[in-house]
Amino acid sequence: MLKLHTRLHALTPSLSSSLRLGPTTDSASPILRAALSSLGSLTRRSRSSDLVGHRAFFCSDSDSSGDGSDRVVHVDSKAVESEGEEAESKSSSAIVPTNPRPEDYLTVLALPLPHRPLFPGFYMPIYVKDPKLLAALQESRKRQAPYAGAFLVKDEPGTDPSSVSGSESEKNIYDFKGKELLNRLHEVGTLAQISSIQGDQVVLIGHRRLQITEMVSEEPLTVKVDHLKDKPYNKDDDVIKATSFEVISTLRDVLKTSSLWRDHVQTYTQHIGDFNFPRLADFGAAISGANKLQCQQVLEELDVYKRLKLTLELVKKEMEISKIQESIAKAIEEKISGEQRRYLLNEQLKAIKKELGLETDDKTALSAKFRERLEPNRDHIPPHVLQVIEEELTKLQLLEASSSEFNVTRNYLDWLTALPWGNYSDENFDVLHAQQILDEDHYGLADVKERILEFIAVGKLRGTSQGKIICLSGPPGVGKTSIGRSIARALNRKFFRFSVGGLSDVAEIKGHRRTYIGAMPGKMVQCLKNVGTANPLVLIDEVDKLGRGHAGDPASAMLELLDPEQNANFLDHYLDVPIDLSKVLFVCTANVVENIPSPLLDRMEVIAIAGYITDEKMHIARDYLEKSTREACGIKPEEVEVTDAALLGLIESYCREAGVRNLQKHIEKIYRKIALQLVRQGASNEPAIVEAQVVEPEETLVGCVDESSQKLVESETRAEPVEDSSHEQTTETSVEADAVPIDLPTDQPSDSKDVTDTKTIQESEPTKTVEKVVVDTSNLADFVGKPVFHAERIYDRTPVGVVMGLAWTAMGGSTLYIETTQIEQGEGKGALNLTGQLGDVMKESAQIAHIVARSILLEKEPDNPYFANSKLHLHVPAGATPKDGPSAGCTMITSLLSLSMKKPVKKDLAMTGEVTLTGKILPIGGVKEKTIAARRSEVKTIIFPLANKRDFDELATNVKEGLDVHFVDDYRQIFDIAFDDDQKTGK
């Protein structure tokens, strides 16, 4: 800052002395004067900063003629009232003659200059810290000898001048005295006039160059000097003129970009009367931003041409610095003003739109949008909800748009106004229409369809429908989710599904508090916003797989959602206002009902979907799965045939599970392989035709087409009689083939008419020659691999100690053999070993069966001590499968008695039922699944507990058809049914 301050002061008084051409000088050529006049004209555009608060000084050059022109002109700027002639007249009245002249001073005080040298014609303020030196300067000025020598201080050896601050440099100067200070000064300096002294500030005006010869006194430092003059030069030298013109041209460019210098030059051009080549060189060096050593080099140079060259280098560098400064300023200005400009334009745009009524501010627009949403349903919105909305709208107007609370309120209002308050879809209570839709989408499932039709019938009689909670339970793949979609379509309700499998966060059901970041409502509020009606059908999938974690128990949170007595005022944590969910029809799905928490299960009406028997699977595969898969694969019905035997083999040997999802996968697998086979057959005929079309000559191409058409006609003639339409099509194809021009070029584009005709023939031929694919039991393994399941009947004739039981699994029903054999016999060695990965309940059933079998054997054969003296082993095959449940008691007793009496059970017999210690048979579950498993294993006779007779009677006719079923309530009844007295071992 100090260096810049010094430069600015150095610019002010003497730049004018370097740019104003006096009419009396002859030292510069007319061309130079004209150029300098044009330079000076740049500064006359503005006169607002002339000499206000400054003193301007002019000192004639030492090289001027000694005709009395060596004088100092003092102009007091405070006396200047106006511009032009009035200012000049006032300044001329302030002329003070000086005597003696400057060149008479050969002994002067040595003033150290820390920053820059003083050039002749320029002024410089310096601060003198040495009291003795300051007193000597004041004394000299009083004796009317106001001159001193100004010499630049040298840098310390090995020191970078740019790394030392100005204050440190000044402090170092005044530490030196006498010869030390003399050694630190440059020999060449400037004779400076002491213009004014105010405190410790001394204003110096440079006059001419000096050179130190010897020291006179040490304190203050006084030296003898020689006055230096420029070396003689030729004023008409073209090189000097060109160099000076280039300096002037560069200065003009610099002055165009720098308004700071332009203001100071403006001051100097009014008070300068002399200008020549040496002065031009000094002027350029003085105003440049070069360092002090480069400026000292210009000051010491007495050769005018060399001085001009040095100055030209400095002003050129100054020009480059000025360009860099301009680019930096422009870049920063663009960066800073870009956002301001955009902001101002946006504000102006808002103001314009507001005046024209095109757009209001953000808050007003938001409020208008929310109120517009409310208008259609305002009459149906509960009063307490309307009150909350109005309060939030008022709060929104008072908040700042940049605050976080504003966004929370806006989102809250967005959810409140987006809900379908009182907006219900028109329900369709047509029972026949619903029956038609349910039959279209699903085969069988009579009990499920009957329950849905009952619900619709009740709604029709009442005129309105209340939401109910239906739980569809059954193994995977039986169509539970698709049933929910069909119910929604039959009722003309919107459908929304969300799965709660593995859900462990209560907030997914009840929503988050609005105070949390990223808070959202629960699933039900999201459902109502998505469907746009207040009476949708909501399918809650996998309700038996609800999780429980650190965020609460979702099963407990769903109690309020599914309870018909509570969900009329369901409270979501985010909305914090009651919502009426009583009109929502909830349908839940589960694989295992036992996994559903009891309080939640209590609110549901369970409809069990046991699965499909073989006949139902055949209908589903033929009417639904095969049709949709064929269309998805792009295969025509006439191109493939899957026989009933193949479907039956697929169902019995590959897809025995209760659902049809695996069956659909296998049918898709078959049709994918058929699609590949059809494409390969069609592709086998293409290469020859393509080759004939592209490579063969024209005549060969026509011959090939005719020959292929002829073969096509012959093949159709040898085949079965065809309809007239196909015959006509063949004739047209032959005509088109004959019409192919002979001059067809081989490189003709593929979109030409002739090639298109040829492609028509090419596409029609494979279509007619592809053979129909037939899938039968003989080639079924080629499409789906080796059979996965074999016959569940291991024995054609049941051996002694082996009985078939019926079991229920999550995948449906299955048969289960129970085998018993004797390990060891001896007095008092009665025992029972169990294997087959049995659960605790099944192990207890085996112990009970052992006791009951002993008591019954004692009743039937009192003299038979078999169980008391035999060590037995009871095994349930498929040991890798965990087994548990109480309904194997009857089967185990029968197996033990068969072994003890050496009697096999009747052929094609299966049984199930839990037995108590007294022999009573308790009811079991999964009647339909076990019946289906019995039919799949070709069982003819089934023994069920008497308590399950009603369950069996409710089964569809096609499920229980052809079965001989016995219902018993005591095991002794089974004893009479199970054993055939005619069957003995070995018969």
Residues annotated within a binding site for ATP: 474-481
Tell how far CA 291 is from the center of its chain: 56
Q: Name the DSSP letter for residue 639.
A: G
CB of 258 closer than 8 Å to CB of 322: yes
H-assigned helices in 228-382:
238-257, 259-268, 277-287, 292-300, 304-356, 362-374
Report whether 963 contacts 942 (CB < 8 A): yes
Q: Which amino acid is at 649?
A: G
- 887 catalytically annotated: yes
- Name every residue whose Cβ is closer than 8 Å to that of residue 759 and which is 6 or more positions away in sequence: none
**Separation between Cα atoms, residue 206 and residue 138, nearest integer Å:** 18
Q: Could you tell me the two tokens for 842? A: 């099944």
Cβ distance 496 to 596 under 8 Å?
no
CA pair distance 800, 943, nearest whole angstrom: 19
Burial of residue 524 (CB within 10 Å: 0-12, 13-18, 19+) is: buried
- Residue 216: half-sphere exposure toward Cβ, Cα within 13 Å: 12
Hunting for tokens 């019409």 — which residue is that?
A: 739
How many angstroms separate the CA atoms of 624 and 612, rounded? 14
* Interacting residues of 179 by C-beta distance below 8 A, sequence separation 6+: 215, 218
Annotated binding site: 474-481
Residue 409 contacts residue 399 (beta carbons within 8 Å): yes
Amino acid letter, residue 258: S
**Catalytic site residue from 309, 903, 930, 960:** 930
Return the residue matching tokens 């659902």. Answer: 659
- Give the residue among 363, 361, 354, 362 at the shortest CA–CA distance from 393: 363
Backbone angles phi, psi at 304, to 5 degrees: -65, -40
The 10 Å Cβ neighbour count of residue 78 is: 10
Is 930 designated active site? yes
Could you please report the per-residue DSSP string of 328-364? HHHHHHHHHHHHHHHHHHHHHHHHHHHHHTS---HHH
Question: Please, which residues have CB within 8 angstroms of residue 283's CB and are 6 or more apart in sequence?
Answer: 14, 15, 18, 19, 119, 121
- Residues contacting residue 909 through CB under 8 Å, at least 6 positions apart: 798, 803, 804, 939, 940, 941, 942, 943, 978
Is residue 190 within 8 A of residue 207, CB to CB? The reply is: yes
Select which of 887, 895, 900, 937 is catalytic: 887
CA distances from 41 to 48, 262, 265, 319, 911 (A): 15, 10, 10, 19, 123
Q: Rounded to whole angstroms, how far apart are CA atoms 83 and 46?
A: 12
Report the amino acid identity of residue 657: E
- Identify the CA nearest to 525 among candidates 515, 541, 512: 512
**Nearest in space to 652 (alpha carbons), one of 671, 669, 673, 666:** 666
| DSSP state at residue 187 | S
Class of residue 145 by CB neighbours under 10 A (exposed 0-12, middle 13-18, buried 19+)? middle
Judging by beta carbons within 10 Å of its beta carbon (0-12, 13-18, 19+), is residue 97 exposed, middle or buried? exposed
User: What positions carry a catalytic annotation?
Assistant: 887, 930
